[in-house]
Amino acid sequence: MRIPLPFCLLAVALLLATPAVQAQQPAAAGSNNIQVHDPVMIKQDDTYYLFCTGRGISVWSSKDRKQWQREKQVFDTLPWGVQAVKGFRNHIWAPDISYHNGTYYLFYSVSAFGKNTSCIGLATNKTLHPGDPAFKWVDHGKVIESVPGRDMWNAIDPNVIWDDKDQPWLAFGSFWNGLKMVKLNASLTAVDMPQQWHSIASRKLSYYTPDSSAGDGAIEAPFVFKKGAFYYLFASTDYCCKGAQSTYKMIVGRSASVTGPYVDKAGVPLLKSGGTLLLEGDKDWNGVGHNAVCTFDGTDYLIFHGYDANDRGRSKLRIETLAWKDGWPEVAK
């Protein structure tokens, strides 16, 4: 029996290893020059803020999305994480940042490696500007948790979206039985009652799938984006975190309902291994994935990381303009 090993984000500790002094300096011009993993971006006033996997959650800021400055990490320590996940050392995965009704919501993942011993937590802030007197991250602790032997899903890679009725939903998941979605309460601090859970995408393995078919069951990093009449579910498939051997790629499906069913261009449900290819690796990038979609000044952008084939497969920030054709997203040429 093959046990999937989706929880590759811990390998980021090696991919992001750079001298501490260097990490505190502004990056050179060009977004591809900063090493990040699982990035998500937001803009407050004239400043862009980038949150990504790292010790205490890594944070960067920029005025132009080209020159980036390292900011202080969100958490110096996370006591509840130590209690919830054995061996946790404040290395926090796949944050998700959003703004709603005057509050910034930062979801994040705390997980063991190679197990679905995982939790998704939430922190809030009134501002993202560190120099603002109101700047203070308030941690609300664990929102959901997955337990080996009880759950066939994994509580990592969170992404929150509000539907047309202003109801918050949390998409999340990795490998196992695929990607999930759960209804949250108004404060986003807990699952709403009565509970509503949905499966939204899966790439289930067959018992007869050969071990050589690396990545066949790999799916993670859901991101839901509303455009026009549809909700679009972006996800990453195949393997990340392997440097030059990474096979990461991004797929997309859409639905008229936030909870699905999501289908690809051919009408194949994402719950049945469907998904229209959005972007994959090439001669310059070994693999690309774990994306967010952000709108700045009326333009949609695809924010993700790629493994630089010209720099030993190091994981770096990528930003591409997202265009729309016949109701489907594509990377602008």
Active-site annotation, residues? 38, 220
Q: How many CB atoms lie within 10 A of CB 98?
A: 18
Q: Which residues contact 243 (CB under 8 A, 6 or more apart)?
A: 15, 286, 307, 312, 313, 314, 315
Q: What is the DSSP string of 270-297?
A: GGGT--EEEEE--SSEEEEEEEEEEEET
What is the Cα–Cα distance from 240 to 227, expressed in whole angstroms?
Answer: 28
Q: Distance (Å, rounded) from C-alpha 61 to C-alpha 43?
A: 9
Contacts of 17 (CB under 8 A, 6+ apart): none
Cis peptide before 194 (omega within 30 of 0): yes
d(CA 45, CA 192): 32
CB atoms within 10 A of CB 20: 6
Taking residue 301's Cβ as centre, other Cβ atoms within 10 Å add up to: 18
Q: Which residues pair with 191 in a beta bridge?
A: 184
d(CA 203, CA 112): 22
Sequence-ordered alpha helix ranges (H) in the chain: 12-15, 20-23, 79-84
How far, in Å, CA of 68 to CA of 34, rounded?
Answer: 8
